[in-house]
Amino acid sequence: MNLFGVILAAGQGKRMKSKLYKVLHPVCGKPMVGHVTDVLDQLNTDRKVVVVGHGAEAVQAYLGDRAEYALQEQQLGTGHAVLQAKPLIGGEEGITVVVCGDTPLVQQSTLERMIELHKERGAAATILTAEMARPQGYGRIIRAADGSVSKIVEQKDCSPEEDRVKEINTGTYCFDNRKLFEALSKVTNSNAQNEYYLTDVIGILKGEGEGIEAFCTEDEAEAIGVNDRLALSEAERMMRERILRAHMVNGVTLIDPANTYIESGVVIGSDTVIYPGSVLRGNTTIGSDCLIGPNADITDSKLADGVAVKYSVLAEAVIGKETTIGPYANLRPGSVTGEQVKIGDFVELKNATLGDYSKVSHLSYVGDAKVGRNVNIGCGAITVNYDGFNKALTEIEDDAFVGSNSNLIAPVKIGKGAYVVAGSTITHDVAADDLAIARERQVNKTGYAAKLKARFKAKKENKE
């Protein structure tokens, strides 16, 4: 049986008070509509239709060819929004899941169970519901004696008895596709808002003798629709707790979960320990047996097993096994290390590759460089990669030694086993096994320091 998904993403989101279109606001690093689309992908939907309106171009630019698009030029209600998908899927046989683009906490497992119930009962529509201790503001689910749905009653229309019902409508549905669009053609806007409501489809189907079911999720967070910054922060908190819990269940130690931020796309191996203040973002992958933090900020990077990162920033870096980084290192995009590399305190790398066992222990900048195996780069050494117009490459071959406070003026090559003496400014290639000295000869002037002191003292006495 065909499975379709319709994502409602046309609302302007005025209460967000933002230039950014509502469904593009991120939750744990990913736009809300991205979370919803991911879930429909996980369901293996045959087709996905995103109904767009305000900010349509931005949503399409983000999702690209992951979905088809239907434009709701005027926002005339949720029923009207779903109706815009009719030219694309209205004539198809199958099941359609309708979900709002601002409900990032809905889960694959929940939708699968809802669809399973829908099929088992042969329902025309199945509503995703939740039990809430404080259901104020939500439509109530009124069930018949056999457990099917009798009706949905909006908060303002509830009788005292209905008002005490805790089961609410989350706004996520599962429909027989043909029956959905047939019922939508009968929905009117005869209400205070002059809008076409998707909830009216339930009443129409019920009136035609169709079966209406409800699946109650165990996680009320799935009911949250983000309409303002307060709800956004609440969704962020719940999503973060869910992510952290999943990592801990999978064998990751979080020393202080309340002070650890991990975005939804991050993968972490077992027996890795994350210390407080760490922020892991984007498509970051961390291996097993790593020590991350305190205060590690890692974005879109890949760390192999046994890596240690302390008080450092990594962005788009690839780190080999058992490498140590920090404290206070900054690895910018294009930084790649081999195994058992040491990147020490206040070291910056950019677009640089370091071979196995190499060391940049402290206070150095290595940019636009290719560094071999077992190379030692001393304190304060710099690859001078920019002449004000162009970037140039520095090459340092295996087993070379670069002394402290050296400047390597690119383009330049330091050969295998070569030795650059501390304080040198290297402007020409150094051949393998050569020693390079590029600094002024030291001159000591006998007794001259005492003469300078006497001169300064005399000047001071004359002023007084």
Residues 266 and 209 in one domain: no
Give the separation between CA 285 and CA 277, rounded to whole angstroms.
18
Neighbours of 72 (CB within 10 A): 23
- Which residue in the list 80, 118, 247, 362 is annotated as catalytic? 362
Q: 385: closest CA among 334, 343, 423, 338?
A: 334
In a domain, residue 97? The reply is yes
Residues 132 and 239 in one domain: no
Q: Is 362 a catalytic residue?
A: yes
* Binding annotation for UDP-N-acetyl-alpha-D-glucosamine: 8-11, 22, 72, 77-78, 139, 154, 169, 227, 332, 350, 365, 376
16-48, pLDDT tens digit by residue? 999 999 999 999 999 999 999 999 999 999 999
315-341, pLDDT tens digit by residue? 999 999 999 999 999 999 999 999 999
Residues 327 and 409 in one domain: yes
Give the separation between CA 32 and CA 229, rounded to whole angstroms.
13
In a domain, residue 32? The reply is yes
* Binding annotation: 8-11, 22, 72, 77-78, 102, 139, 154, 169, 227, 332, 350, 365, 376, 385-386, 404, 422, 439
pLDDT bucket at 344, cuts 50 / 70 / 90:
very high
Last residue of one domain, picked from the residues 182, 198, 223: 223
418-461, pLDDT tens digit by residue? 999 999 999 999 999 999 999 988 889 999 999 989 998 888 88
Residue 147: what pLDDT?
87
The percentage of residues in the chain with a pLDDT greater than 90, rounded to a whole number, is 87
Residue 137: what pLDDT?
82
The residue segments making up the domain with residue 281 are 229-436
Give the separation between CA 3 and CA 45, rounded to whole angstroms.
5
Domain containing residue 287: CATH number: 2.160.10.10
125-161, pLDDT tens digit by residue? 999 999 998 888 888 999 988 888 988 888 888 889 9
Give the separation between CA 464 and CA 461, rounded to whole angstroms.
5
* Binding annotation for acetyl-CoA: 385-386, 404, 422, 439
Residues 295 and 389 in one domain: yes
191-212, pLDDT tens digit by residue? 777 889 999 999 999 999 999 9
Residues 190 and 253 in one domain: no
134-142 long-range contacts, Cβ below 8 Å, gap at least 24? 135/165, 135/166, 135/167, 135/168, 138/168, 138/169, 138/223, 139/168, 139/169, 139/199, 140/165, 140/167, 140/168, 140/169, 141/165, 141/167, 141/168, 141/169, 141/214
Residue 155: what pLDDT?
82
Domain containing residue 8: CATH number: 3.90.550.10
63-114, pLDDT tens digit by residue? 999 999 999 999 899 999 999 999 999 999 999 999 999 999 999 999 999 9
Residues 250 and 101 in one domain: no
* Binding annotation for Mg(2+): 102, 227
